[in-house]
Amino acid sequence: MALDAALAGVRAGGAAAPGRRRLGPGAAEGAGGRPTLRFYGWARPAVSIGYRQPLAQLDLAACGRLGYAVVRRPSGGGAVLHGNDLTYAVVLPRTRQERSRPLDLYQAVHAAFARGLRRLGLAATATAQAAGRSRPPAHPACFAMLGNADVSLAGFKVVGSAQRRLRGAILLQGSIPLRSEAETYARLLAPTEGPSPADYARGLNAFAAQPLSAAEVRQALIAGLREELDLTFSEESPLPEEEAAARDLALRCFGSHAWTERC
């Protein structure tokens, strides 16, 4: 299978944290039918929560004190810290039939990402699909839940992904932590039962022989996608209509208190 994908650089621009993440859904609605992959960073620390995740699962006062923006994603899942991670978005036209089931898409992309991480000397594996396998117990933090098709290192989830099927496109967006942030998770999440952050919050550099940069991880993941899925890439800047769609969504939807406080 050969796909053309547009790649944008990490930290392409200096927008506030919400603008970086919101380029994902904007691209999904304005990508012009092109399969697209983007990696990007954050201009300020932030915590993103899932589409249906209750805002009460965060300690909003602590987020304010520590300077973390709060962003609600268009995709599901639990809370994710941003600022010391590599964030990505994959957009596919809804008309494509490949990987049509949600789990198929997770499995394909995560297998490629695991392959890329192994190029860096990390013993990453992508959990194989298992018929009838139950979902992990719900938890406010994305990385506390290791489930079907997830990428792990030594039993720790190291790629957090969530999917949304939009009107004309499929959006898969996710985060790969570079640094372990158990203490920050403990301070920003409201008290809850289940695993403590020390039991799940591990970044790639906790397992690497030498410190890894976002650029190194990005290139390894691209190589993994090429090798695992036989993809071809063309590096491009975001189209003007994609940026316009992202700005419009930020103004009329994602930038509003009504959106953030919807749950």
3-state class of 204 per DSSP? helix
Give Rg (Cα) of the chain: 17
Torsion of CA 67, 255, 73, 15, to 10 degrees: -60
Cβ atoms 220, 32 nearer than 8 A: no
Three-class DSSP category at 88 = strand
**Residue 142 known to be catalytic:** yes
Provide the b/e sequence for 66-86 (b: ≥16 CB within 10 Å).
eebbbbbbbbebbbbbbbbbb
Contact 116, 97 (CB under 8 A): no
Catalytic residue among 63, 142, 253, 263: 142
- Give catalytic residues, as residue numbers: 142
